[in-house]
Every structure is written in C-alpha cells, then in structure tokens.
Structure 1
Amino acid sequence: MNFPVKLAELGTQAGARQIPMAIHGVGVAKNWRRRAAVLFSDLLDSSQLMSICVRDTASRDNLERLVKDHGLRRSTVDIRVAPDPAFMAAETFGLNAAGNETGRIGLGVTHPAALHAHGDYARVSERDAILSLAELASNLIACGFCPVLFTNGAFEDEAFLAKALNATAFEALEGRVEVAPAPTSPRMLAQSIAGFDGVIAHRLHANILSYALGGVPVGLAWDAKMHGFFGLIGETGLLQQGASPDASRAVKSLQDGLKRRTDMRQRARELSQAARSGVLESLNSVC
C-alpha cells in the first residue's frame, strides 16, 4: 500500500494547487489489493495528470489489466514505455561507462525477508541465504575473481550483511572477500558499482546500474520486474531462477557475459539515449 498511498497524496496535492504532473519510470506489478487499485484510480482520473510512462511493456500491460479488472476509471492519457532512468547513470553521475577490468565482482546482499514479502518465491531462511551468498563468493574466488559484498544502503540489508560476515560460512573466506561501504546516496551506490566488472544481485537497480556503467549484471530472479529488465536488454540467459541460485551456474553466466561485454555496452548506450528521450518527453508534458 505504500506506493499507491504516496501517489494518491501526490495527486491530491497537485490537484489542490493546480500543478500539472507526470508519472514516469515506474513499474507496475500484476496483483494489486482492491484498496490500492482505487487509490491509483483517483490519480489516473486527475485532470492534472499529463503523462504516464512505465519502464517496460509488462508494466503497461499490468496497468491496462488493473484498470479493466477492477472496473476503474481509465485515464485519457496514453501509457508510454521508456527505459528506467537508471540507464542514464553514466551521464547523470559523470562516471566512465567504459570501465577497466578489475576482476572485482559485486555480490548484492538483500535481507531474505524482503524477497519473501515482495517477491514470488517461498521464504528463504537467513541461514540458507548466508550459505548461498558464501557459495557464490567461493565460486567467484575459485574462478579468479574478487567478490565484493555490497547493499543498496537499506538498513535491513546492512544488518543482514553484518550477520553474514560473522557467520561460520564466511570464516573460511576471511581476507578474500571485500565489503563496500554502505551507500548514503544514489551517487555513492553508482560509484561503488562502477568499480565492479559485474554484479550478481537480487535488486533490480543494482543490475541496471551495473549494465549502464559497462558491467555485466547477473540477476537473481525473485519477481517479475527482473524478467522485464533482462528481456529488455536481450540477456535473459543472465537471469538466474530462484531466490537461492546454483552458484556455479551463476558464475558461468557471468563469465559468458564478460565475453560479450562490448556488445552489451553498445546496447546500454542505446537504452541510455532512449531513457533520456523518455524523461524529456515526460518533462515537456508538464512544462
């Protein structure tokens, strides 16, 4: 309910002040509670809503289905699709998307409770999640990489990272695994990820940032938005199924992806340009 409530309040405030607004770069899930759908309907019905742009075709289809299934009022604004603004990371943060081959691979740490609460898979225990993380790190080391544990800065993820480092599974890896500082801003997160040749992570935006900054993302599938991203970039083979993936298969996918890094960078530049065009179109709609 958090996201629909915020959007509904945005619509209320914009309507009261007669300020035009645009919805841009959002993902739309398949299943919504009735109350959340009604809140979103109020926003769609607002005369101040000038533009709706979602980040993938699945989100557009889900939004259309949401309106139809719940009998909601349909906005007169067409739903556009444009890549997530995070594809513009290199330009936005002034980071070199070409990158250097460092051998450092970011291992994204996500608290398993978040995967269960918002994802499509059954609950994974903290113990199993730590074992899975340690196995990924071990496989990376065995293949000559330097694993770097990182989070997106969420408090629960940082707490889980601290717990993992103190677990028996990581004792044998002491001195061979790095830990990135907790990011306190999007720029800091982007700077950390720019220093990796690639990432293995659950979080969507960790994968997008890696790709946008010239790295190879290996996604750990836990909800539909991951499928949308890897479909968009034409790299569905880099998406590993399940909250606790096969470590050797994930690392093999990373190695295969690194061989295609030049082609990926060209596609990333194209998506960055498309993302920029999408943002400008949304801005123009309210100016």
Structure 2
Amino acid sequence: MHRPRALLDDIDTGPAAACAATEPREASRSDGIGPGSRAEHRAGGLRIGLFNVKYSPNLGDGLLAECIEAELKRVLPGLTVEAFDLAGRTDYVEGGRLRGTALRLLQSCPTPVRHGIARTLLGRSMSRQRPVWRARLAGIDAAVTGGGNLFSDADLNFPLKIEAAWGELRAAGIPTAVFAVGAADNWSETGAALFRRALAGTRILDASVRDARSAEIWNRRLGPSGAPPARVVHDPGLLVARHVPQVRRPGTTPRIGLGLTHPTTLRYHSDEAAVSERDLTAWYAALVRGCVARGWAVDVFTNGSPEDEAYLRRLRPTLAEAAPAGGPAMTFAPRFRNPSELATFVSGLDLLMAHRLHANIAAYSYGIPQIGFTWDRKLVSFFELVGRGDFVRTAGREAPETVLALAERGLREGLDRRRHAAILDEARADIAVLAEALRTGAGAGAATRREAHA
C-alpha cells in the first residue's frame, strides 16, 4: 500500500509548502559557506543557475547547496552562482507553524485525493513562479540541478517542480547538469510521465547521482527516454569542513550530539515497521541516561524542520529529567539560522547520533564519528559508501545499551583517517568534473542561443 510521504519529506514540504513559498518571510540572510559566497558578478565571468531546495527549513539542504556553490567558485574563478529554490523561497526561513496540522489532515487522505491537491496547489505555485524564474534566467549560461533527493515522487512534489523548472531552462535554451541527486523508486505513473516530459528536449550536460541505487533507478527509469547514464559521485555536503572552519569546544568531557526527528516523519518515510512516539520518546530518555551515566555531555538539536523543532520542545522536559543536575552538561541547541551555524555546531562534537542524513555527512566531513539512526535507504547508502555500515542502528528498536556500546567504540576508534581524506579529495574531484562540464557546455549553449536568435 502506498504511504503518504511527500508532505513530510525531509527535503521539501510538498503542497503545504507551496502556499507559503509564494510569500517568503524575512529571515537573517546567510553569509554562506566559505569565502565569496555572496553573488559576485565579474565582467565576462560564467553565470550558473543552481536548482535545488537550498532554502528548505531542513538546513541540510542548504548545507549541500552552499558547498556546491563554494566549491564551484573555487574551481572556476569569476563564477557567479544564482540560487533557484524549487519551492520559490528566497532565504532561510523557519517554516510554517501550522504545517504539522496541515500535514496530519492531508496524510489521512487517499492517494488520488492527495495527488489532486498537489496538482492544484503546486500547479498554481509553479504558474506564479515560472515568470520569476524566466526573468532571472536572462544572462544565465548553464544550470545545475542538484543535489538532494530530487528525483523522487512524493505526492508529485518534485515531478511537478522539475517539470516546471526544466521547461523554463528548455525554453531559454539553457543546458543543465544533474549533480549528486538521489533517486527513489517510488514514482507514480503520473510522476514518471512528468519526469519524462521534463527530460524531453532538455539538454543534459552531465548526470550524476549520490549512490549506486540511485544510479540504477535513474538509468532504468529515464535511460529509455534519452537520459545520459548516471555516474556515482559523493554528496557535496562532505566538503563542508573545507569551507566552514572547525570549532572545537574546550574541555575533556566527550560531547555527544543527539539529533531529533519527529516520529511522524519517521513513520511515513521509514522502510521498517513504525515506532510509536511514546516508545521513541522513552528510548531517547534511556539513551540520554546512559550517556550521562558514562560522564558524557549531551547536546540535543535538530536540522531545523518545524516539526522536528516542535518535537524537541515537547521532549525537552523528559530529556532534562534524564540528566540530573550536577552531572555532565545537558544543552538544547536553539534552531540554527543557516547551514553554517549547523555545521559549526556539529564541528564541536566528539560523536553524533542522528537520523538526518546531512547531520551525519557534516560530522563525517569534520572527522567526527557518528551513529546513523536508520529510516530510509539514503542514510544506509551513505554509511556503506564511507565504510561505516556497522554504525547504523534503528532508534527505538535496538536496546539503548547496544547503541551506547557502539558509541563507546566510535569514541575509541574514531574514523579511518586515510579513507576519510581520500573521500573528501574524491568529493572535490567530483565537483571539478562538474565544473568542466559546465564550462564546456555553457559555451556551446551560448552559441546555440545565438543561432536561435539570428
């Protein structure tokens, strides 16, 4: 039975976000990851449009987007990168306070009803957004679509958005590279048709995905329609340590970062049997008690999604009781305003435990051991890719003592430093290949546009 997943997607928020996306709220604008992250248009420099969900409330999406921007600018001096958020957002915002209520209502609807709502709300949103993109694409030489889990079909969310964005690129004669995306094998017939329609006539400079499973799905689903074979590359978020300095906290007490994700999100995205909120909350409390008993400090945080923040607020009294006064420090991080703040926080930990993929990726980038709480294939794929498959566990199902023993091992062993350095170098080389495809393809694209207007 198809489960309603889009409206709790950790990458985007589907129809619920479509309404809010048309009226972005003001927020503290990020200075970005790395030097020169603000747009710097130098005369004669290459101009690239980057399409993804950079300004999602889940700051992991912004982290990977800013890493792509910073690394492309390092490789291509004089480059200007313009962000095109697929939901129409223009800055980092917290997300709607009523989002959880809307999601619960929509989740109770049958799939055809949800698809109808998606097509109506997102169709209207894209109709308003396309002229904005059209105007901004003037002067863009080439585009990048990625990273993130963009080729998934959760209630038509990304199929509708990719079809709209690529329609504008195609109309403007602008080629795009597809970089480090995730592909899920959950496409409905309508979603698959939208992805194929997006592909038709769009010039793809290069295609890469972030794991072998995504490559198989991309090649099987889109290869027959003319998509180039997908290469497997590393997630660009692995480069965050190369662009945001690590900040180590003073003291000798091990600091454990505990990232919380709302149980409802896990329920609708998990490939495993669901864990109830009551059981998961009790499990987290037992895990915190075990950390405190070992003399570890615990820093509780989220990646920023509003439902995760709501869960942290609800869980805070229970976790505070599990860490008695006089013991190691117990802190609850305020919501981070931008990806750099999230990265800086993670960089100061000694070990991380979390469901969210890009919290784990950031930890690995800084050489910090981590335990991934499994809930979908993309997290498992990342841990396997970096050789840490033993450090994936299921929160709420395995005994807390089992996870705590694994944490002791992680603190003791750390990471394989040689493999870690090699993977970060490979991630940097992956973006260098992307940069060359953009440099070459942008020139050819410009010539084609000149011929079309001759």
Provide the TM-score with structure 2 as the length reference. Answer: 0.58
Output the CA distance in 2 between the equivalents of 1:112 and 1:188. 25
Output the CA distance in 1 between the equivalents of 2:233 and 2:170. 26
Q: Per chain length, whose mean CA-contact separation is higher, i.e. which structure has more relative contact order (CA < 8 Å, sep 6+)? A: 1
Rg larger in structure: 2
* Partner of residue 25, structure 1: 180
1:170 deviates by 4.0
Equivalent AA in structure 2 for residue 141 of structure 1: V
* Partner of residue 393, structure 2: 240
* Partner of residue 152, structure 1: 303
* Partner of residue 203, structure 2: 48
Output the CA distance in 1 between the equivalents of 2:177 and 2:247. 30
Equivalent AA in structure 2 for residue 5 of structure 1: L
**Structure 1 residue runs without a partner (length 5+):** none
Deviates more, 1:196-205 or 1:99-108: 99-108
Deviation string 1:249-275 (CA, Å, 9 cap, x unpaired) is: 112112212232252x33222111111
Counterpart check, 1:137 vs 2:288: yes
Q: Secondary structure at 2:243's aligned position in 1?
A: helix
Indicate how the Cα distance of structure 1 residues 208 and 160 shifts in structure 2: closer, same or farther if over 3 A, else same: same
* Partner of residue 160, structure 2: 5
1:89 to 240, 248, 261: 240
Preserved contact between residue 22 and residue 51 of structure 1 (Cα < 8 Å): yes
Deviation string 1:13-71 (CA, Å, 9 cap, x unpaired) is: 11111112111111112322222222222333343221111011111112223347xxx
Q: What aligned pairs does 1:170-209 form with structure 2 within 5 A after superposition?
A: 170-175=320-325, 176-209=329-362
Preserved contact between residue 96 and residue 213 of structure 1 (Cα < 8 Å): no
1:124 to 259, 275, 278: 275
Counterpart check, 1:74 vs 2:226: yes
Indicate how the Cα distance of structure 1 residues 172 and 262 shifts in structure 2: closer, same or farther if over 3 A, else same: closer
Structure holding more helix per residue: 1
**Structure 2 residue runs without a partner (length 5+):** 1-155, 440-454
* Partner of residue 217, structure 1: 370
Preserved contact between residue 286 and residue 322 of structure 2 (Cα < 8 Å): no
Output the CA distance in 2 between the equivalents of 1:101 and 1:254. 17
Provide the TM-score with structure 1 as the length reference. Answer: 0.90
Structure 1 runs (4+) greater than 6 angstroms displaced: none
How many residue pairs get aligned? The number is 280
Indicate how the Cα distance of structure 1 residues 184 and 252 shifts in structure 2: closer, same or farther if over 3 A, else same: same
Q: Secondary structure at 1:117's aligned position in 2?
A: helix
* Partner of residue 191, structure 2: 36
1:281 deviates by 1.4
Output the CA distance in 1 between the equivalents of 2:419 and 2:337. 29
C-alpha root-mean-square deviation of aligned residues, in Å? Answer: 2.2
Deviation string 1:173-204 (CA, Å, 9 cap, x unpaired) is: 25442112211211111011111111111111
Equivalent AA in structure 1 for residue 198 of structure 2: L
Q: What aligned pairs does 1:243-254 form with structure 2 within 5 A after superposition?
A: 244-254=397-407
